[in-house]
């Protein structure tokens, strides 16, 4: 099976995102979200980040993008994850209990190319056990995780020092709150 087949059939992959090595799968399906929770030992009420390849895919998941959020996205040097008040078209197991959805537009690299080819948003969560530090390199990924996924991407394994995205939230009134700098 190819990586595309694995994603489309609800499998879980280990891949280099635009930030850290991540566990992922098709964000529109329940199966990968539930398996990733099991692999990580992650609480059922903790939402995931979803990666998209462009603004059109983003709009299909969250509707209109407020000007203040567009401004933050344009000026952000680091990858920026935005928590939108409502998300659509993804598994309920990906969103927060209040219906909000965390989404990041991937601007370049392998993850963006993969999302474009699959033409589906991908779940993205760090490749660590819940409560443990996120691995800064492929070598730091726990063996349990490596054995639990359906596919491991053979790319950028020597890259070190990666860091998570900046995260902001905005509310229905368009006010922005920084969650993680």
User: What CATH number is attached to the domain comprising 14?
Assistant: 3.90.870.10
**Mean pLDDT value across residues 44-69:** 95
Statement: residue 113 has pLDDT above 80: yes
| 114 pLDDT higher than 80 | yes
**Is a pLDDT exceeding 70 seen at residue 160?**
no
Is pLDDT above 90 for 156? no
**33 versus 159: which is more confidently predicted?**
33
**Sole residue written with tokens 């566990």:** 23
Could you list the residue range(s) of the whole structural domain that residue 35 is in?
3-180
Report the chain's mean pLDDT, rounded to a whole number: 93
**Scanning the structure block, which residue is given the tokens 């890259």?**
159
3-class secondary-structure state, position 36 = helix
Q: How many alpha carbons fall within 13 Å on the CB side of residue 61?
A: 32
Count CB-CB contacts under 10 A for residue 158: 7
Number of domains in the chain: 1
Residue with tokens 């928590």: 83
Of 139, 109, 161, the residue nearest 124 (C-alpha)? 109
Please name the residue that has the structure tokens 């490749």: 127
């Amino acid at each position: 099976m190819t990586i595309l087949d694995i994603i489309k059939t609800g499998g879980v992959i280990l891949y280099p995102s635009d930030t850290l090595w991540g566990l992922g799968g098709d964000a529109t399906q329940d199966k990968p979200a539930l398996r990733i929770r099991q692999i990580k030992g992650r609480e059922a009420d903790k939402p995931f980040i979803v990666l998209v390849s462009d603004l059109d895919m983003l709009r299909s998941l969250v509707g209109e993008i407020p000007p203040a959020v567009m401004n933050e996205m344009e000026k952000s040097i680091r990858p920026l994850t935005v928590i939108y008040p409502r998300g659509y078209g993804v598994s309920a197991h990906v969103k927060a209990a209040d219906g909000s959805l965390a989404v990041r537009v991937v601007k370049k690299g392998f993850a963006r190319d993969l999302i474009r080819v699959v033409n589906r948003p991908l779940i993205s969560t760090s490749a660590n056990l819940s409560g443990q530090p996120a691995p800064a390199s492929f070598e730091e990924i726990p063996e349990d995780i490596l054995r639990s996924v359906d596919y491991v991407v053979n790319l950028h394994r020597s890259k070190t020092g990666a860091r998570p995205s900046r995260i902001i939230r905005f509310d229905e009134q368009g006010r922005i709150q920084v969650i993680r700098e």
